[in-house]
């Protein structure tokens, strides 16, 4: 018959203490890993938002530069809510800006043939609209949708507050050309001038 050896009470107490240390170690490790994961998520999210903002600003600056160039060279323009057309007499071409959802396209035509095209893509949900203020002034209104965040009690007010709107005002100044050509003088006017000159000399 096998004889059982009793375990001392000191060893039993030591085993219970090690178990509590082990639980504490697991708890602290889980807290550390969770905190590290949250920090990494925050850093990656901030980096992604920074890249999106940088790409948005670059696209917006490139768009404004193209519009300003066409505005300077144009002598007149035609506009609707989704299209803006410039006439460039020096280049003998026509430039059309077309707004379709979140994409703005620039097309240049020479003698009804497409010679150049460029696209400006914004975030999905962005609205683009041309607003004509007068015959020589038009505004491009760019409205971005609000970014997703925590739920608000008033969704309409939150959408108006978080949405971003940009306006680019364009003014076309028609060129004024002075006519400096020499006008021909008729024979009667020339003879009358000579007679007046002779009479003036006789009076002297």
Question: What is the structure's pLDDT at 18?
Answer: 76
Instruction: Give the separation between CA 173 and CA 194, rounded to whole angstroms.
Output: 45
Q: What are the distances in angstroms from CA 42 to CA 11, 34, 37, 61?
A: 47, 12, 9, 29
Question: What is the structure's pLDDT at 177?
Answer: 41
Read off the pLDDT of each residue in 70-77 and give the average, rounded to a whole number: 88
pLDDT of 139 higher than 70 = yes
pTM over 0.85: no
Read off the pLDDT of each residue in 59-82 and give the average, rounded to a whole number: 91
147 Cβ contact partners less than 8 Å away, ≥ 6 residues apart: 162
| Residue 111: band (very low, low, confident or very high) from pLDDT cuts 50, 70, 90 | confident
Quick one: what percent of the chain has pLDDT higher than 90? 42
Identify the weakest region by mean pLDDT among 6-10, 88-92, 189-193, 195-199: 195-199
Which pair of structure tokens corresponds to residue 5? Answer: 């050896």
Q: Buried b / exposed e across 14-27, counting CB within 10 Å, b at 16+? A: eeeeeeeeeeeeee
Q: Could you tell me how far CA 72 lies from the centroid of its own chain?
A: 20
Contact 45, 149 (CB under 8 A): no
Question: What is the structure's pLDDT at 199?
Answer: 44
Instruction: Give the separation between CA 119 and CA 37, rounded to whole angstroms.
Output: 39
Task: Identify the CA nearest to 130 among candidates 140, 122, 121, 120.
Answer: 140
| Residue 162: band (very low, low, confident or very high) from pLDDT cuts 50, 70, 90 | low
Domain spans of the chain?
42-171
| Residue 191: band (very low, low, confident or very high) from pLDDT cuts 50, 70, 90 | very low
For residue 76, give the 3-state DSSP assignment.
strand
Instruction: Give the separation between CA 145 and CA 142, rounded to whole angstroms.
Output: 10
Only one residue has tokens 């969770």, namely: 34
CA diameter of the chain? 168
Instruction: State which H helix or E strand residue 103 sits in.
Output: strand 103-110
Which pair of structure tokens corresponds to residue 130? Answer: 């041309």
Question: What is the structure's pLDDT at 133?
Answer: 87
Which pair of structure tokens corresponds to residue 185? Answer: 């003088």
pLDDT of 180 higher than 90 = no
């Amino acid at each position: 018959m096998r004889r059982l050896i009793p375990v001392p009470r000191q060893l039993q107490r030591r085993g219970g203490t090690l178990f509590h240390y082990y639980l504490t170690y697991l708890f602290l490790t889980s807290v550390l890993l969770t905190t590290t994961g949250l920090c990494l998520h925050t850093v990656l999210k901030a980096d992604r938002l920074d890249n999106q903002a940088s790409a948005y600003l670059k696209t917006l600056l490139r768009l404004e530069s193209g519009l300003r160039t066409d505005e300077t060279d144009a002598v007149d323009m035609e506009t609707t809510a989704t299209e803006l057309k410039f006439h460039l007499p020096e280049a003998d071409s026509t430039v059309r800006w077309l707004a379709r959802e979140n994409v703005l396209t620039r097309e240049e035509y020479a003698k009804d043939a497409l010679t150049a095209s460029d696209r400006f893509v914004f975030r999905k949900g962005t609205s683009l609209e041309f607003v004509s203020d007068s015959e020589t002034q038009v505004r491009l209104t760019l409205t971005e949708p609000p970014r997703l965040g925590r739920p608000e009690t008033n969704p309409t007010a939150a959408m108006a507050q978080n949405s971003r709107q940009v306006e680019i005002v364009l003014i076309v100044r028609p060129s004024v050309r002075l006519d400096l050509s020499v006008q021909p003088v008729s024979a009667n006017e020339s003879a009358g001038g000579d007679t007046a000159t002779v009479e003036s000399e006789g009076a002297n």
